[in-house]
Homo-oligomer: A and B are copies of this chain.
Amino acid sequence: VGGGTYRRPVRDTPYLAVDVDVLDRNLAAMADAARDRGLRLRPHAKTHKCVEIARRQVALSGAGLTVATVAEAERFAAAGFDDLFLAYPIVASGPRAGRLRALADRVALRVGVESAEAAALLGRAVQGLEVLVEVDSGHHRTGVTPERAGEIATAATAAGLAVVGVFTFPGHGYGPGDRGRAAADESATLAVAAAALEQAGVPAHVRSGGSTPTAALSDAAVLTELRPGVYAFFDAQQAELGSAGLADVALTAVATVVSRAPGRAVLDAGSKILSADRPAWTTGYGRLPDCPAARVVALSEHHATVVFPDGAEVPAVGEPVRVAPNHVCTAVNLADELVVVSDGVEVDRWAVAARGANT
């Protein structure tokens, strides 16, 4: 971090910094790739939760956003976004029913459904609401088997909902070497689910899939829409999966060395700024883009313990170090704002407008 004719303003660590030039390159690359393949890009805003980034995404794709919660939908709707897909099996009980109604009055809203019980609640909350049936393509989280998609569509139609298609999240592509298989599963599952809908008399106009690792591999003859999120920033996990290089990581935690020993330093960035996500196959709790051979071997709330390779210079107490989090979505959700940097110079700050928007 440096260069330019300005000095970076001194700021206490740890904080999250976004390299806006890398961000813009990532956003354009995904938008171009989707357009080239004839797929609608509906980026998942849960990754960044920032109005400024969502605006860039919508300007590039000409389509709407994906969100994970009603609260995220509310915050993006308040910022003027009028086309939102809530890719989650929403249970419209309690105050959430009225909140969904208010949202549906204001924006083009679609939500996920995967049970007759949830369809009945949604139908009571918002008659005519557009829904997509969630199917399980191998991640085994939520979603019905594709063969059951017609049954759910029928229940949804009976509840007064407007079924417009099917969606899945191929989350089992988040493992080394798993991307190709997960993308193939996703396409095959959506094809079966779409056929099941047609058999039930409901055309599956929307066939929505896509995650950052699988987005480039989805079958454009089956899918109509992609919903990747992480690609805006990438992260250590995506670099280790091969979805991107460390040079493509647009968001890092800027930390300070607080303790040092031979071959080892402790930074002031811990799980309260990086988050503690650590899939078993990762090399540690994040990566150092400026020293790719270093390993983050331990993480507590305000400490990251970094082991440096033989011969590498260990930074001194007080020196700044950038850390790419393992999972950028959970790191962003810990920060009130992102510090925006271009050419090493701080140029802006963006509020994490949907931070903590869990309900």
Residues of chain B with a CB closer than 8 A to A140's CB: 305
Question: Chain B nearest CB: distance from A184 CB in Å?
Answer: 22
Q: Do A301 and B330 have beta carbons less than 8 Å apart?
A: yes
Q: Do A88 and B277 have beta carbons less than 8 Å apart?
A: no
Question: Chain B nearest CB: distance from A227 CB in Å?
Answer: 14
Q: Do A68 and B258 have beta carbons less than 8 Å apart?
A: no
The one of B90, B94, B301 in contact with A10, judged by C-beta atoms closer than 8 angstroms, is: B94
The one of B13, B266, B278 in contact with A359, judged by C-beta atoms closer than 8 angstroms, is: B13
* Interface segment, one of A111-119, A158-166, A244-252: A111-119
Known: A14-B358, A318-B91. A259 touches B114 (CB 8 A): yes
* Interface segment, one of A31-39, A75-83, A192-200, A332-340: A332-340
Residues of chain B with a CB closer than 8 A to A317's CB: 91, 115, 117-118
Interface centre among A46, A96, A298, A334 (most CB of B within 10 A): A334
A33 to B127, CA, bound (A): 59
A183 to B178, CA, bound (A): 44
Q: Do B141 and A330 have beta carbons less than 8 Å apart?
A: no
Known: A275-B275, A318-B121. A256 touches B358 (CB 8 A): no
Known: A93-B318, A117-B316, A275-B275. A302 touches B68 (CB 8 A): yes
Q: Do A333 and B272 have beta carbons less than 8 Å apart?
A: yes
Report whether over half of chain A's contact residues are helix, strand or loop; otherwise say mixed.
Answer: loop
The one of B121, B256, B271, B316 in contact with A277, judged by C-beta atoms closer than 8 angstroms, is: B271
**Is A225 part of the binding interface, using a Cβ–Cβ cutoff of 8 Å?**
no
Q: Do B273 and A358 have beta carbons less than 8 Å apart?
A: yes
**Is A241 part of the binding interface, using a Cβ–Cβ cutoff of 8 Å?**
no
Within 8 A of B (CB), among A1-44: 10-15
A273 to B316, CA, bound (A): 35
Within 8 A of B (CB), among A297-320: 298, 300-303, 305, 316-318
Q: Do B95 and A12 have beta carbons less than 8 Å apart?
A: yes
Q: Do B258 and A142 have beta carbons less than 8 Å apart?
A: yes
Residues of chain B with a CB closer than 8 A to A266's CB: 141-142
11 contacts between A and B (CB under 8 A): A11-B94, A12-B94, A14-B358, A91-B317, A93-B256, A117-B318, A141-B259, A141-B298, A142-B258, A271-B275, A276-B330
Q: 3 closest A-B pairs (Cβ-Cβ)?
A: A12-B359, A117-B317, A142-B259
Knowing that A46-B301, A88-B258, A115-B317 are A-B contacts, what are 4 other residue pairs whose CB atoms are under 8 Å apart, sorted by A's residue number?
A15-B358, A89-B258, A91-B258, A272-B333
